[in-house]
Amino acid sequence: MESLGLTPTLKKYTEHFEKENNIKTLLKIDLAERLPAALEIAIFRIVQEALNNTKKHSQASHAMVGIGINDGAINVKIEDNGKGFDLRGDSQGQKGYGLISMKERTESLGGEVDTITQPGAGTKITATIPLNVPMEIEQWMR
């Protein structure tokens, strides 16, 4: 990814995802230039995990990935039209590893994740990460 950059890497990934899983996937990226490597890697992994959850759990026919910059932060949105779920967990009170992984990855860069879902209503995940990644985090992420 480092040589290609986030945009071409995600384009290739979402095309492959759509073809392999028969889930129509729209990618909207509004970035004028490359981001720091730590952000590009984190964003790719967040999108990858969210789409993996869509594939495994949602029974969706459509997904959308949107990435842009607003107010000094990168905003990543992944939505699907799947069956949704109870965010509080299943009957045993368990939450998915994928959601936890996205949350931890985003928070390690000073950001936050918001998940909106309910049974029968699809899922929307929004990660907001500040653009000013400290150099020590940038090097740690490589």
Contact 133, 36 (CB under 8 A): yes
> Does the structure show a pLDDT above 70 at 111?
yes
Helix 37-53 and helix 97-108: axis angle, to 10°? 160
Predicted confidence at residue 37, as pLDDT, reads 86
DSSP codes joined into one string, 64-117 = EEEEEEETTEEEEEEEE-S----TT-STT----HHHHHHHHHHHHTT-EEEEEE
Q: Is the pTM of this model over 0.85?
A: yes
Q: Which domains does the chain have, with CATH numbers?
A: 6-141 (3.30.565.10)
Query: Structure tokens of 88?
Result: 């509080």
Looking at per-residue pLDDT, the higher value among 89 and 70 belongs to 70
Question: Which pLDDT value is given to residue 38?
Answer: 83
